[in-house]
Structure 1
Amino acid sequence: MKTILWAALSANGNYARSSQRHPPKPEATADFAAHAREHGNFIVGRQTFLEFQENASRRPQSASMDGIDIVVVSSTLALPPGAPAQTAPDARAALALLRGRGHQTALVVGGERTHNAFLSAGLVDEVIVVVTPSFEDEGRKITLSRGERREATLIEHTSLGGGLIRLRYALGSVDTW
């Protein structure tokens, strides 16, 4: 199964944070929604899922998520019957769930722990980074396991408007220093 990691990062490489005062850029949420619709699914961590549920500004305004398979990576979250998502205890189980539903591509959208879990398990084939026009203090980052290195090949770069740039990379195999 092809796995694509999607992340919005500040210009200095940290995860782009949002708040009531600094909501996510609409171009970024629209890009996320377009990729979710294209692949028909997305995988998200528990904390990010709960933030999506609680904070309307974090959700894409441009499109409905109806018909999109949502998998929340969590071993503790109990979703009620009829919830808009399913849970999986880890990265491999999340991919197996989507594979079982007929998907050939999985979109991993966050947060930091979820992204890094997929990367450290060697499960990511492509990375899409939406670079936002902001610099932020020391923050969360996309990382590999200590001593690992992966080459990336630029597939595409696109201006999304509003000062945002989307970079899409294919990841090579894991190497060590």
Structure 2
Amino acid sequence: MKTILWATLTANGNYAQSSPENPPRQEALADFVTQANAAGNFIVGRRTFENMRAGGGPGPFGEIDIVVVSKHAADIPGVKVARSPQEALAYLQQKGHRTALISGGADIHNAFLGQELVDELIFNVAPVLEGKGLNVLIDTNDYRYKPVELLDCKPLGGGVVQLHYAIAR
């Protein structure tokens, strides 16, 4: 199964942190909906999922398989709760998906990256700088490089630029 990690980053490379003063860019959100519909699924952490559902209702994801990765969450109606990245991928593969979209947050991204479970990266770079934030990590115990290959680069509008990479394995 192909795994794609999708994230919005700031221009200085941090994960973009949404807040009332800095809402998510609509261009990036629209792209996420497109990517999730194409994959038919997405994997997300519990806190990010709770923030997504804060508005109520299924939003644009009514027919999409959603997997929440959490070691401590109880069952959540309408979604699969997996205890690990491997369990999330096994569930989606069993359901017949050929692609898994890993959508957030930073802990989930870094767990998949640290276990070398990611084939492609889609980074939407927002036109904003953040003084502090969370980073993309490939290994928290080691300092190493991981080659990537640029597959595509395109503007999404509103100053957001999308970078699409393949990760060498």
Alignment partner of 1:73 is 2:60? no
Whole-angstrom CA distance in 1 between matches of 2:36 and 2:84: 20
Alignment partner of 1:113 is 2:103? no
Per-residue deviation, residues 114-167 of structure 1 (Å, max 9, x unmatched): 000000101000000000000001210111112332101000011000000000
- Give the Å deviation of 1:22: 1.6
1:3-82 equivalence runs, <5 A: 3-55=3-55, 64-80=60-76
| Structure 1, gaps ≥5 residues long | none
- Structure 2 partner of 1:89: 83
- Structure 2 partner of 1:172: 168
- Give the Å deviation of 1:51: 1.0
Alignment partner of 1:138 is 2:128? no
Whole-angstrom CA distance in 1 between matches of 2:163 and 2:144: 22
- Tell me the number of residue pairs that the alignment of Structure 1 and Structure 2 aligns: 167
SS in 2 for 1:149: coil
Q: Percent identity?
A: 46
- Structure 2 partner of 1:102: 96
- Give the Å deviation of 1:64: 1.8
Whole-angstrom CA distance in 1 between matches of 2:132 and 2:23: 19
| Structure 2, gaps ≥5 residues long | none
Where has structure 1 moved over 2 Å in runs of 4 or more?
none
TM-score (normalised: structure 1)? 0.90
- Give the Å deviation of 1:55: 4.6
Whole-angstrom CA distance in 2 between matches of 1:147 and 1:20: 35
TM-score (normalised: structure 2)? 0.94
Amino acid at match of 1:70: I
CA RMSD, Structure 1 to Structure 2 (Å): 1.6
